[in-house]
Structure 1
C-alpha cells in the first residue's frame, strides 16, 4: 500500500508539472500549420491526455498515436498554440510538426559503355571487398528498415539469393523486401490527407538508391536494364523493411517519420536507416527522443550528418543527435562515372545541374564557344551580379564563372546568364571537386573541378578559338577530392559542444539501384549515401558475431577501427568535427581483437575544460597483448579569425594542437581483461582564444602484434570561453527592426518618429543566428515603466523564446538566411503561459536577447542583449 501511495503522489506531481514547447530551428523553419507532436509524461495514458486537452477547451484531431514514444501528433482546430499545449497537465514536450524535403536526385543512366570497376564498387576504400571475399559475409538474417521514399521491391537487385528476377508480388517468394508500409500515398503533398496502404513502391527514387547501397545485388541479373558493371551493395542478403514517408514528390512531416520509426521497431527491424535532412539544433527533437528509446530497446539507428559543409561549423543535422544514435559524415568516392567535355584536346568531367535533368548530357553546337567572364585583371567573375557582364557579349556562348557558392547560389547566377542570352554556364568549383548545382530551367549548367576549370581557363588564354566537345556517354575518371572527406558533408559540433558527426562512410558519387521507371541505376552524392553504407556494415557485423550488439557498442567498434583521414591534398589530418572518428574500415572492425571506450571525448571549452579523462582498453582476443599509447593531432578550425559574428563558410585550418599525457605509455592486457589509462589534456598553445578555434585529435592504442589494427578515440575541444561565442550576426546589422505593410511587403522603418499599426504597418523583427543558443528570445517591455510584458508571438513562429540552432549562410535564392517575426501585438506573458495576450496601442520597447551557451540563463547577465528601441503603436 505504501508503494501505491507513493506512486500516486508521483503521478499527481507529474500531472501538474509544466511541459516545454520546442520551437522550430532557424535552418529548418517550415512547419505544418496548427500541427503538433506531443509527448506525455511517463504514466500518463492516452485517455488521460485526451481528457486533459478537452478540459482546457482544446479542439483537436489525432493525426497519429505513438506507443513507445508515449505521445501523439495532433491538429489543433481551436486557436491554441504549441505553448498552450505545453501548459496542459500530463504533457511533457510539444514540438511543431516540421517538414522534411527529400534530398535532390542526380542520376547517371546505364548506357552499356565500358567503365572502371572501382566506380561501381567503393568497397576497396572500406575493406568490405575483403569481408565479402575472405569472410563470406552478406548480412543474411539481419533485418534493415529503410525510412524513406519506399523501395522498388520489383527491382531484380532486390531478388532473393539465387533468383535471377525480382519479386512480382509484394513480400513474395523471391523478394527480400519482406516488410513495409506506405504511410502517405503517391499524391501526398502535405496539404492533403495521407492515403496509407500496404504497398511501399518507390516512385521518387531516393529510397531505392539507399536500399541498394545497403544490400542491392546486381551481379546475376538476367532481365531488364543491366548495370554498368556487375555491382553489389554492402550486405547483399539482408532482409528489408520499406517504410514509405514521401509521395512521388513533395515533403513529409515529423509526425509521419515517428510513426514509421515505431512500425519498423514493431516489425522487428534490427537497424533503421534515416537518410533524412534536418537542420542544426539541440538533441531535444522528437526523432532523437524516440530514437534513444528504440536504441534502448535493442534497435540501432543511423542518420545523416547533413550536406551543409559549405556553411561552416555548428551545422551537423539534428536527426542523429541522440547520445546513442550514429551521425554519419560523407567521404567522396575516388572514382566517378560522369559525363565529360573536351577542350583543347583534354577531357574534363562535369556535373550537370539538377534543373538540367537526370540522365541528360549537355549537347551544344560547336558555335556555342567558351567565354570566361573576366575582370580587368584577368580573374574570373562569379556572375552573381549583372554588372559582372558589363562590356561582355555572352549571347550564344558558354560562360565560365568562378563557382564560390558563398557569394550567391546557382539559381541567381543562372538567371542572370540566361537573361543575357548565354547558351550555357560552367562554374569552376572551389576549393576542389564538383558542386551539385540546382540550376535554372532550360539552361545547360554544370560545375567543373577546380583543376579542370583552371586548365580550361589557361587553354582559353592561349587560344580563345578552342571548341568545346560534349560527350554523349559517361566515362569513369579519378576525381578531384576522391577518397577524402566530402566538401559538402556538414561540420559539427552541436550547441552543447558534443562530438558529432560520429563516423564517415563513402557518400560522394555512389552508384546504386534506382526505380526501374527511372532508369534502374543512378549515381548520387550526399550523407544520404554514406548513412546506408554504415548501416550495411552494421549488418555484416551482426552476421559475423551471430549477435545483435547494442547501438553504442556497434558504434564504438566502428569508431575505434575507422581510418583517420586527411583532406584531399593535405598533409595533416582532418578535424574530427568534419570526419568524426574517420572513414569506416569494416575489415578492421570485424577482425579487431580490442576495444576502447568511451568512443569519443568532449573536452568542452577552456572554462569548462575536462582536462583529465580515462579510457578503458579491453582485450577481446585469445592471447595477451601489449598496447602503445600515442596521440594524433588533427586540424583546428578557426571560424572567427576576423572577429566576425557569423562563422566563416569555410573554416580556416590552423595548426592548433593539444597535447596529451598518458598515465602509462604502454600497457599489457591479458586475454579477456581490461586496463584503464588516464589522459591529461593540455590546450593548444597556438590559436587565439578570442577566435574560438575548435581543436581535435585522436588518442591511439597500437597493439604490438604485427597486422593487428590500431584502435582510437577522437576528441574535440574549443579554445576560449564558449559563453563569448557570438550568437547574433551583428556583422550584417541583425537584429533588425523593420515594417511589414498590409500587402506583406517588408520595408525599412521610414523615420525615428514613425508610428506602427498592428494591422497596416506591423513592427517586424528579423534575427539571424550564427550559432546555437539555449534561449533565443524577443522581449516586449513597457517603454514608460520598463515592466516586462512578454515574448513576441506570431502564428507562424510561435512565441519567441527557447532553444535555437544557427542559420545557414544563404537560402535557396541566394539571400541571407534569417528568421522574420511579423508582430501583430500578441505576447506570451511568461514562458509558462498557455495562450497569447493581445496588446493595444502604446509605447513599447523591443529587446532581442540570446542566452549564452553553458550559462544558467539569468537575465540579463547571461544573455546577448540588443535593444531595438521604442516603438509607438497607434492601433
Structure 2
C-alpha cells in the first residue's frame, strides 16, 4: 500500500483534547537527552500539530517524522518536558526517546550442530522443504537490526557464489534496505545515514540467516562445519540497519525503520529487539498494530528475562495484532567441553571471561559441599575456611537466589582459585556474568552431580579442557528455554503468543567476525517464526492478514512440557506452544479467537465462544477436549517481589462445552460455548496464574488437531503488589548536590533552597501499574496540592515491572523533588512551585484492572511529613 493513501486518511480536522505522557518505566533506562516521541490524534495533520507546538512556545528540532504512526521524534531545546508536550491540543501520546541495546545472546565460539538432529526436525520445516517444496520465494522480509552482511555466501542467489545488495548488482536476495545511522552511531551522537546496510555487529546477519540463509553449498570463503539452511531460503530481504558498530540505537530510529520497511513493501518485519516490561501503549507496539492494519505482519522477541519471573515479557511484541515470540532450546548445541574421570561435559563460559578455558592439569577439582555431601553455592567466604583451593578449580551449586555469579566469583578469587564451575539448578546451562579475570563457567546440573560423585571416589582426577567446540546433546534441549521471558502483561493479556527454536542456533555471521556462529536468545526464535510465516505466504499465494496467519500458527503449535516434566508448560511461558510448520501449512481447520484471556477472579470471563471452521473439502467431525498446563505461583511467602523462578502448582481450571462433538460441512463453521471454572486448588491470596488449552480434534487421522490457549489469575489482581516492600520501598530520603543519598534528618526538616540536600523518593516496581503517582498534600489541612514534577517528568502514568538487578545492583527509580508539582492530572495546566511549609508525601499506584478511582483503586504508601524551611 502506498504511503500517500494513508496520508490522505490523516487529513486535518478539528483539534482534539490533550494527550498522555508516558513516564519512563525505569530511571536507569538510557534516555535521549530532551528527546521525545509524539503521536498525534488520527484526525490531526502534521502541519496543524507543528503549528500548535509553536503556539505553546515549545522550541524544538525535528529528528524524524512518521506518516503511518502520525507523529514525530523531536529534541526539545526549551525547558518544556513531556507533560507540556502532552498538553498541546492534537497530541495523543508522548514518550521519552529510549535507547535500546542489542539483545544479549549466548555464543560459544561456533561449532557444528548434529545434522541428524537439525532444529528443523523440531518444527516440521524439513518436511515442508522436502514434500511441499516451499522456500519463501516471492515473499519480502524486512530485518530491522544491525544490518546484514549481504556479501556472505549464505545470501547468494541461485548460481552465484556470494551474496550482494541491489545497489551493487542484479539478482540480489538483499534487494531493499538502508543504513539509518552510520558506522559511528552510538545513540549519543547524530546519525549519519547512508545507503549501505552492511553489518559490523553480527546480530542482524545471524537473524537473517535463520529466516532465509542457505549454506548448503558454500563455494567461497570459510565453509560451515556442517551444511545448514534457513527456514525460507528464497525470501527477498530488506536490511534496515539501526545500530552502528558499537553502542545503542533509539526509539526514533526504530520507528523510522519500521515505516521505511512498510514503504518498501515488506510483507513481514522481524524485530529481534526489546525494551523490557511494559504496556501495549508503547511506540513500537502502537506502530506495529497500525502496520498490521495496513497489511503487514510484525513479529517481536518476547525477551530474555526468564530468570526474572513473571510480568516480564518484552515491549516490542505487545501489540494486539503483532506477535510476541518465546524461545525453545535446540536439542543439540556446540559447546566447549571439560573431561573428568572418563566423562565429557559441556560448559558455557562467563561473559567476563569471554573465551574457552585452558587450565593446566595441576588445576584439579575441589567441590564445595556440606557435611551431607550437598554442593554449596559459594556465596560465603567462610565456605573456603580450612580447604586448600589455591590454584584449583572450585565446583559450586549454580543457585543464584542468594548471590550472583559476580559475587561468588569475587569470593573465589580472594581465596586464590584458578577457576570456578557452577552447576546449574535445576538443569541446563546459565548465562553467567562472572568476575573479571577469573575462568568461570556454567555446567549442566547432571554434570555437576557426575563431577561431585567422581571426586568423592578419587579426588586426584585431572580436568582436561577441549581446544574447540563439539556437538553435544544439551540438557533441557527441545523444551522451553529458561532465559525466555514469562508473561503476562499489565492487562492480563496472554503474551507471549507462540514459541520457536531460539537456543543453540547455528547460522550466518559477518565474514569479518568468523562467518558462522551459534547463538541463543528469543532474538533467534523470532526470525524462525518469521521464516515460517514466509512459507505460509508462499503456499497460500496470498497476503493473509497478520492476525489470521498468527492464529493459524497458534492453532497448530505443539503444546510442550518443561524438560523432565510430566505436565505441560504454562502458556505464560510458551504461549500456544512450539511452532509446528508442517501442521500450520496442512491443517484443514481454523479455530478462533487465538486466545482466551480469562482475567482474574473479580473480572472473570468464564463464558467464551470458540468458532471452529472446516476449510477442508469434506464434512468433518470434531471432538472438543481440554488440556491443563502448569500454574505459576510467584507469591508463596507473602512476598512483594515475584519469585525469580515461579513455583509450579497443579491449579487446574475446569472446562465444559455446550456440545462435546460437532459435525461441520466443508467450508462451514460452528460456534461452541465454553464455560470455564476457576481452579479449586491454589491459594487466591498468592495469585497463581493458571492456563491450559481448548482442543478440537478431527476424526480423520491425517488432519492435525487445533487448539486455543487460555490463561487466568486466581485471586484479585488488584491486590498483586506493585511496590517492592520486600526491599523497604518506597522510601523518602535526601540527596546532596554531590549525589550522595542519606536518610532524612531526625527533625524531618530540609532546606528548601536545596543547597545542602533535596528530597528524593525511591520506588521499585514489582509489577505493572496503569497509573503511578507521587502525590503532595498539605500536612496540616490534608489538601491535595499536586503531583511531583521531577526534572522533565511528572510522577503520573503507566509503568511496567522492573528487572531485579541493574549492573549487579537492585533496580530502583529515583524522583528528585525540588518543590514543583502539577496541580491536576490535566497536563495542560502549569506546574506550581511550592514554598516553605509542611507536606505529606504519598506514593500511590493504581491497581491493575481497576477504573482508577482515588483512593480506593490505589496501592498507597504514606511516606510521612516533610518540613521545608525557607
8 A contact 2:12–2:45 mirrored in 1: no
**Paired residue for 2:594?**
599
8 A contact 1:127–1:587 mirrored in 2: yes
Partners of 1:275 and 1:414 in 2: CA distance: 31
**Paired residue for 1:624?**
619
Partners of 1:546 and 1:466 in 2: CA distance: 62
Question: What displacement does 1:16 show?
Answer: 4.6
8 A contact 1:27–1:807 mirrored in 2: no
Gaps of 5+ in 2: 1-9
Question: What displacement does 1:13 show?
Answer: 8.8
1:635 aligns with 2:633: no
1:222 aligns with 2:219: yes
Do the aligned partners of residues 110 and 491 (structure 1) sit closer, same or farther apart at CA in structure 2, a change above 3 Å counting? closer
- Other structure's SS at 2:83 match: helix
8 A contact 2:556–2:706 mirrored in 1: yes
- Other structure's SS at 1:802 match: strand
1:776 aligned residue (772, 778, 794): 772
1:825 aligns with 2:819: yes
1:367 aligned residue (359, 362, 369): 362
8 A contact 2:13–2:44 mirrored in 1: no
- Other structure's SS at 1:543 match: helix
1:692 aligned residue (665, 687, 691): 687
- Other structure's SS at 1:261 match: helix
Question: What displacement does 1:794 show?
Answer: 1.6
Partners of 1:843 and 1:729 in 2: CA distance: 27
- Other structure's SS at 1:257 match: helix
**Paired residue for 2:7?**
none
8 A contact 1:397–1:424 mirrored in 2: yes
Question: What displacement does 1:80 show?
Answer: 0.4
Q: What is the correspondence of 1:131-146 to structure 2 with a 5 Å cutoff?
A: 131-146=128-143
8 A contact 2:361–2:463 mirrored in 1: yes
User: What TM-score do the two structures reach when normalised by structure 2?
Assistant: 0.96
Question: What displacement does 1:387 show?
Answer: 4.7
8 A contact 1:171–1:179 mirrored in 2: no
Q: What is the correspondence of 1:402-417 to structure 2 with a 5 Å cutoff?
A: 402-417=397-412
1:430 aligns with 2:428: no
Q: Give the number of aligned pairs.
A: 859
**Paired residue for 1:557?**
552
Gaps of 5+ in 1: 1-9
8 A contact 1:330–1:526 mirrored in 2: yes
2:274 aligned residue (277, 280, 283): 277
1:33 aligns with 2:33: yes
Question: What displacement does 1:421 show?
Answer: 3.2
Which of 820-829 and 388-397 deviates more? 388-397
1:496 aligned residue (461, 468, 491): 491
1:198 aligned residue (195, 200, 203): 195
8 A contact 1:66–1:259 mirrored in 2: yes
Question: What displacement does 1:393 show?
Answer: 4.5
Partners of 1:647 and 1:481 in 2: CA distance: 24
Question: What displacement does 1:837 show?
Answer: 3.0
- Other structure's SS at 2:630 match: strand
1:77 aligns with 2:77: yes
8 A contact 2:110–2:518 mirrored in 1: no
Q: What is the correspondence of 1:146-161 to structure 2 with a 5 Å cutoff?
A: 146-161=143-158
Q: What is the correspondence of 1:448-487 to structure 2 with a 5 Å cutoff?
A: 448-487=443-482
Which of 560-569 and 637-646 deviates more? 637-646
Q: What is the correspondence of 1:503-542 to structure 2 with a 5 Å cutoff?
A: 503-542=498-537
- Other structure's SS at 1:775 match: strand
**Paired residue for 1:679?**
674
Partners of 2:668 and 2:797 in 1: CA distance: 46
8 A contact 1:59–1:76 mirrored in 2: yes
**Paired residue for 1:315?**
312
1:792 aligned residue (780, 788, 792): 788
1:714 aligns with 2:705: no
8 A contact 1:635–1:695 mirrored in 2: yes
Q: What is the correspondence of 1:438-449 to structure 2 with a 5 Å cutoff?
A: 438-449=433-444
Question: What displacement does 1:173 show?
Answer: 2.5
Q: After superposition, what is the alpha-carbon deviation per residue over 1:496-531, rounded to whole angstroms, capped at 9, x for unaligned?
A: 110111000001111111111111111111110100
Do the aligned partners of residues 393 and 48 (structure 1) sit closer, same or farther apart at CA in structure 2, a change above 3 Å counting? farther
Q: What is the correspondence of 1:86-101 to structure 2 with a 5 Å cutoff?
A: 86-101=86-101
8 A contact 2:13–2:45 mirrored in 1: no
Partners of 2:275 and 2:35 in 1: CA distance: 18
- Other structure's SS at 2:107 match: coil
- Other structure's SS at 1:15 match: coil
Do the aligned partners of residues 11 and 623 (structure 1) sit closer, same or farther apart at CA in structure 2, a change above 3 Å counting? closer
Partners of 2:149 and 2:630 in 1: CA distance: 42
Question: What displacement does 1:839 show?
Answer: 2.4
Partners of 1:463 and 1:740 in 2: CA distance: 57
Do the aligned partners of residues 375 and 261 (structure 1) sit closer, same or farther apart at CA in structure 2, a change above 3 Å counting? same
Partners of 2:380 and 2:671 in 1: CA distance: 60
8 A contact 1:19–1:91 mirrored in 2: yes
Q: After superposition, what is the alpha-carbon deviation per residue over 1:714-749, rounded to whole angstroms, capped at 9, x for unaligned?
A: 000111111111111212211112221221112233
Do the aligned partners of residues 169 and 396 (structure 1) sit closer, same or farther apart at CA in structure 2, a change above 3 Å counting? farther
Partners of 1:283 and 1:737 in 2: CA distance: 31
**Paired residue for 1:669?**
664
Question: What displacement does 1:403 show?
Answer: 1.7
1:646 aligns with 2:641: yes
Question: What displacement does 1:485 show?
Answer: 0.6
Question: What displacement does 1:110 show?
Answer: 5.3
Q: After superposition, what is the alpha-carbon deviation per residue over 1:174-216, rounded to whole angstroms, capped at 9, x for unaligned?
A: 5311111111111111221111101111101100010000001
User: What TM-score do the two structures reach when normalised by structure 1?
Assistant: 0.95
1:344 aligns with 2:338: no
- Other structure's SS at 2:142 match: strand
8 A contact 1:594–1:621 mirrored in 2: yes
Partners of 1:52 and 1:420 in 2: CA distance: 65
**Paired residue for 2:59?**
59
Partners of 1:429 and 1:750 in 2: CA distance: 45
Question: What displacement does 1:11 show?
Answer: 9.8
8 A contact 2:557–2:577 mirrored in 1: yes
8 A contact 2:12–2:43 mirrored in 1: no
Q: After superposition, what is the alpha-carbon deviation per residue over 1:521-571, rounded to whole angstroms, capped at 9, x for unaligned?
A: 111111101000000000000001111100000000000000000011011
- Other structure's SS at 1:482 match: coil
Partners of 1:620 and 1:451 in 2: CA distance: 47
Question: What displacement does 1:415 show?
Answer: 3.3
Partners of 2:631 and 2:26 in 1: CA distance: 26
- Other structure's SS at 2:339 match: strand
Partners of 1:392 and 1:27 in 2: CA distance: 44
Q: After superposition, what is the alpha-carbon deviation per residue over 1:463-498, rounded to whole angstroms, capped at 9, x for unaligned?
A: 222211100121111111110111111111111110
- Deviant stretches of 4+, over 6 Å: 10-13
Q: What is the correspondence of 1:118-267 to structure 2 with a 5 Å cutoff?
A: 118=116, 121-167=118-164, 170=167, 172-267=169-264
- Other structure's SS at 1:210 match: helix
Q: After superposition, what is the alpha-carbon deviation per residue over 1:53-106, rounded to whole angstroms, capped at 9, x for unaligned?
A: 111111101000111111000000111000110001111110000111102244
Do the aligned partners of residues 704 and 305 (structure 1) sit closer, same or farther apart at CA in structure 2, a change above 3 Å counting? same
Do the aligned partners of residues 258 and 265 (structure 1) sit closer, same or farther apart at CA in structure 2, a change above 3 Å counting? same
Do the aligned partners of residues 511 and 753 (structure 1) sit closer, same or farther apart at CA in structure 2, a change above 3 Å counting? same
Partners of 2:383 and 2:483 in 1: CA distance: 27
8 A contact 1:149–1:247 mirrored in 2: yes
8 A contact 2:105–2:521 mirrored in 1: no
Partners of 1:718 and 1:408 in 2: CA distance: 30
Partners of 2:604 and 2:168 in 1: CA distance: 54
**Paired residue for 1:46?**
46
8 A contact 2:274–2:314 mirrored in 1: yes
2:853 aligned residue (858, 863, 871): 858
Partners of 1:763 and 1:392 in 2: CA distance: 49
8 A contact 2:750–2:759 mirrored in 1: no
Do the aligned partners of residues 474 and 118 (structure 1) sit closer, same or farther apart at CA in structure 2, a change above 3 Å counting? farther
